[in-house]
Amino acid sequence: MINLVKNELIKIFHKKGIYVIAIITALFVGLTTFVTKLADSIGDYVLDDSYYSMLEENLKNYDLNNAEELNWYVSEKDQIDLYKITKDYDSLSWQYYLIETNGYDYIDKMNRAQYILKDDTAYEEAKNELDIYLQSIKEHDWQYFVQKEKEESKNKIKEYKSLLEDETIDDSERQGIEKQIEVEQITLDGYNYRLDKNIPYGYDTASSLISEYVSAGTNYISLNKDEKTYISRGDLLDKREVEKTFYVAKYKLDNDLYNAPYFNASDVLYQNAATPILFIVVAIVMIAGTIVSEEFNKGTIKQLLLRPYTRVKVLLSKYIATLIVFGLFILFYEVISFLFYGLTMNFQSYTMPIVEYSFVTHEVIEINLFGGVLLNLLSVLPVYILILTLAFFLGTIFSSGGVAITISFLVYLFGDLINGLISLTDYKVLRLFPTMCWNFNHFLYGNLPIDEYVTFYPSLIVVIVTFVILFGGAFIIFTHKDIKNQ
């Protein structure tokens, strides 16, 4: 058996196609990571210059006597004016962030006063407000603005607490005020994180974590925590996403897990392993779909079966060889990804743990990067194995690599479409279709799949039964196949 597998591996590695796929895969991973990094480093100025020049030219085409067109004119002018101001600053600076976040309201108020209200006094007041705001950005550091917003938030909490002292308010009003205090407290925590952790405003990882913490936290407060009360699956999944985002962001901020400035190679490597990779699917389908059929096409099947091996051993050796190459290709893809992500993003981030949220214990957990990648790969392994076995089965039936490759690849390519159509039907039995059940990543850490009728154990049974049918079917067909005319 070992010699048979060895011979099959030699045949596979003599094929040019596998090296072509490997080279294309490496180039694709390298190019996408490089382009992503390059796009972030040069900013959006090239695109913005052309886009806003086009917008400015387009302003000449509006009829300002037409109310609808006038509103469009003001809207586009707001964008142009905001761009002209922010262009003076680096797109990753705290000044740029504040102007882009708060400046639009000042500009819109000013343009509406000038073009819609035609009120010179209101225009001058709005313009003066904008000038004061821009001047304060030039004169102060980012801590000044955090402190200012922090004081406003503390004053709001005081006001809400004073309202609670009124004994005439009913329970529903009291609950509403208490929720407002909780919301404002989350916002206040966000300001404290900025000051305590020295995190300026911006679009980097640390600042984005604070924004996620505040946004998810304020949403989470308003949500019903009892999952049994959710009727809609979509609402339940949304609730879980908010819960996860809030607690993960809080954990990362509390434990300083945000040392990658803009990209985190660790997270990208981990997340990519959670979904089947197209190039790996192409590779295994090409190998599995042709490893049997090419023996018939080349007329070498008789020679192969003249050896002192049973048909079962011959076919099993081919399947094992295919699995070995599949494993090597996954290893190749992960190593290439590790190197490119590290080079173009940040090798240092590989020392950071992966942070996940368990819906079983409702706690944040830390996972070793390589353990997390391996777990994700194992969770999508059934997708690869079933596609590989399907191609192997079809190649045995039709003795045509083209048919086996085409059908198998189409099943993978349109798997999500098939699942979407099945989800629209009322037939629960269709939820047991293999493409609905073959991705186990949904079940990790107590997560839920999109379809409520797809659960772990039925999915596992479907995957096992499908594998047995395809794997066993290939052996039954091959052992009874007539090769006299081959």
Is the separation of the CB atoms in 395 and 290 below 8 Å?
yes
Q: Tens of pLDDT along 47-97?
A: 567 888 888 889 989 998 998 999 999 999 999 999 999 988 988 899 999
Retrieve residue 429's tokens: 């039995």
Q: Please choose, from the candidates 351, 378, 353, the residue with its C-alpha nearest in 3D space to the C-alpha of residue 364.
A: 353
Task: Write down the pLDDT at residue 69.
Answer: 92
Give the separation between CA 459 and CA 419, rounded to whole angstroms: 14
Residue linked to tokens 């402190």: 147
pLDDT for 39 beyond 90: no
3-class secondary structure per residue, 183-216: HHHHHHHHHHHHHHHCCCCCCCHHHHHHHHHHHH
427-462 b/e with 16+ CB inside 10 Å = b?
Answer: eeebbbbbbbbbbbbebbeebbbebeebeeeebeeb
pLDDT at residue 135, as a whole number: 94
Amino acid at 376: N
Average pLDDT over every residue of 358-363: 93
Reference 226, options 212, 214, 250, 243; nearest CA is: 243
Rounded to 10°, the helix 171-197/142-164 angle is 160
Q: Are 96 and 90 in contact (CB under 8 A)?
A: yes
| pLDDT per residue as tens digits for the range 412-428 | 999 888 888 887 787 77
**CA-CA distances (angstroms) from residue 363 to 228, 246, 256, 358, 367?**
19, 12, 18, 6, 13
What pLDDT was estimated at residue 259?
65
Q: What pLDDT, in 10s, does the model give residues 147-190?
A: 999 999 999 999 999 998 888 888 888 889 999 999 999 999 99
